[in-house]
Chains A and B, each alone.
Chain A
Amino acid sequence: MTRFLTISVAVLLATALHAADDATFDDPALAQRYWGLIREIRCPLCMNESIADSGAPVAADLRREVHRLLVEGKSDDEIKDFMSSRYGDFILYRPRVTPLTYALWGGPFVLVVVGSLVFWRILRARRNQPLGEDEPS
């Protein structure tokens, strides 16, 4: 039983701590930025995993690269530029605001405005009805 538990815990830890392999920093602030960045960068091979979660070899390479750039003193934006110039905007989980992504960023606000207008019109139509009567269907 203890053996079973040990193995279970080991398996669970193994899947959760892919990124723990190569991250050592002298400066805790850098470590914090590292963990933030690798969760924002998508693994280009495995689609819906960040490079923090992914066990793919390319994810390990990218983590190593993030580590190297951080130690070199690069800013978060410079590191994201480095990644997207090689792997495209696809690699950033939070897409940048470009003409291509206007609809993506603006869409929700447009929908809220349209929804509010419809809601307002329904309310106004009901206000003109006598009390106790529902909208004629």
Chain B
Amino acid sequence: MWRYLIPLALFVVVAAFLLRGLNLHPNEVPSALIGKQIPEFALPTLADADAKIGSQDIAGKIALVNVWATWCIECRHEHGFLITLAKSGMPIYGLNLKDDRPAALGWLASLGNPYVASAFDADGTVALDWGVTAAPETFLIGRDGKVLFKHISPLTAQVWQHDFLPLIQAQCRASDAGCPRLTALAAR
């Protein structure tokens, strides 16, 4: 008698796996950097080839690192939201990836500049250390200099509310040292 239940049991197991598979997102490869210190780097800034920006400039406060480029169409889509975020008090650092310096500066001049500063990664070496697959990507850095979260594809208000804000609030509940003073716009 029991042997006739075996196919049913197998079906239930397979169905459970398939059901789970419907909600998986294989394109969202988890970053190997989560929970680790941000990779050491020192690059010229976009604005000034002689000025340097590096990992120690980012460390010590909660900040975003946004990978962008003028050849990246999706970056244009998220640019408006980045500006909203920056205006509401979130420090954003740019990693300008394999770009043309005048074109990138022109982009910031015409669309607005949400970045505290942008690092100019001409050949993508630093992006490779960060495990960047393509622009746009956004990293959330904790005040201890560890990577809290990485988002691939444009940053939207929805992603911000759902993934970024709870992590920031969790860090800032205990103490607000290094916490962004977000206005209602971004904290809502």
Spell out A's residues near B (CB within 8 Å): 44-45, 47, 56-58, 61-62, 65, 84-90
Q: Tell me the bound Cα distance from A45 to B27 in angstroms.
A: 8
Contact A86 B128 (CB under 8 A): yes
How far, in Å, is B139 (CB) from chain A's closest CB?
A: 13
Select A62's contact among B29, B98, B128, beta carbons within 8 Å: B128
A contact face: mostly helix, strand, loop, or mixed: helix
Contact A56 B134 (CB under 8 A): yes
Contact B134 A57 (CB under 8 A): yes
B contact face: mostly helix, strand, loop, or mixed: loop
Contact B124 A61 (CB under 8 A): yes
Sorting the interface of chain B by its residue count into under 10, 10 to 19, 20 to 34 or 35 or more gives 10 to 19
B 1-42 to A, binary, CB cutoff 8 A, 1 in contact else 0: 000000000000000000000000011011111000000000
Q: Given A65-B128, A86-B129, A58 and B134 touching (CB < 8 A)?
A: yes
Contact B31 A44 (CB under 8 A): no
Contact A57 B32 (CB under 8 A): no
Contact A45 B133 (CB under 8 A): yes
Residue of A nearest to B129 (CB): A86
Select B133's contact among A58, A65, A84, A85, beta carbons within 8 Å: A58
How far, in Å, is A83 (CB) from chain B's closest CB?
A: 9
Residues of B within 8 A of A62 (CB): 128
Spell out B's residues near A (CB within 8 Å): 26-27, 29-33, 98, 124, 127-134
Q: Tell me the bound Cα distance from A84 to B36 in angstroms.
A: 14
Contact B130 A88 (CB under 8 A): no
List 14 contacting pairs A-B, 8 Å CB cutoff, sorted by A.
Answer: A44-B29, A44-B131, A56-B134, A57-B98, A58-B132, A61-B124, A86-B129, A86-B130, A86-B131, A87-B32, A88-B30, A88-B31, A88-B32, A90-B29
Q: Tell me the bound Cα distance from A85 to B130 in angstroms.
A: 10
How far, in Å, is A98 (CB) from chain B's closest CB?
A: 13
Q: Tell me the bound Cα distance from A45 to B124 in angstroms.
A: 15
Most A C-beta atoms less than 10 A away, residue of B26, B127, B129, B131: B131
Residue of B nearest to A42 (CB): B29
Residues of A within 8 A of B27 (CB): 47
Residues of B within 8 A of A65 (CB): 128
